[in-house]
Amino acid sequence: MSGLAILFLAMDAGGKLIVPETMIANSPPIGLPADAALYRLLGTILGVATLLYAVPRTAFLGAILLTAYLGGAVAMQLRVGSPLFSHTLFGVYLGLLVWAGLWLRDPRVRTLAPLRTLPLR
């Protein structure tokens, strides 16, 4: 799970660093200025957070930073009225993948957030 999240986020960060014209062309609908420097900054922030998440020693900090970044993405999509389940909540889906992957690979996270079953009555 973590590998899938890292792969997706690294590709997104790389795309923002390269600043393809299609990204800039699609900026106005979500309210971002068509500025290559802004995309490079976003790509750098996402790349650093993803790198922190990929390294086991700093994975927890990386997951927190990725959650914040993805929260901003959800807010941007919500602000412009994007479709709820496909666009707006995509950051939530990805955040759940990040945390599920961390939960599976780090026993300390499982201690902090144990999976408990509901008692049958």
Backbone angles phi, psi at 57, to 5 degrees: -65, -30
pTM of the entire predicted model: 0.89
Cβ count near 61 (within 10 Å):
13
Using CA atoms in the order 9, 11, 14, 16, what is the torsion angle rounded to 10 degrees? -70
- pLDDT digits over 79-94, tens only? 999 899 988 999 999 9
- pLDDT digits over 2-23, tens only? 999 999 999 999 999 998 888 8
Q: Choose among 16, 22, 24: nearest CA to 40.
A: 16
Q: Which two tokens stand for residue 30?
A: 């979500």
Rounded to whole angstroms, how far apart are CA atoms 79 and 30?
Answer: 8
H helix or E strand, kind and range, residue 104: helix 90-105
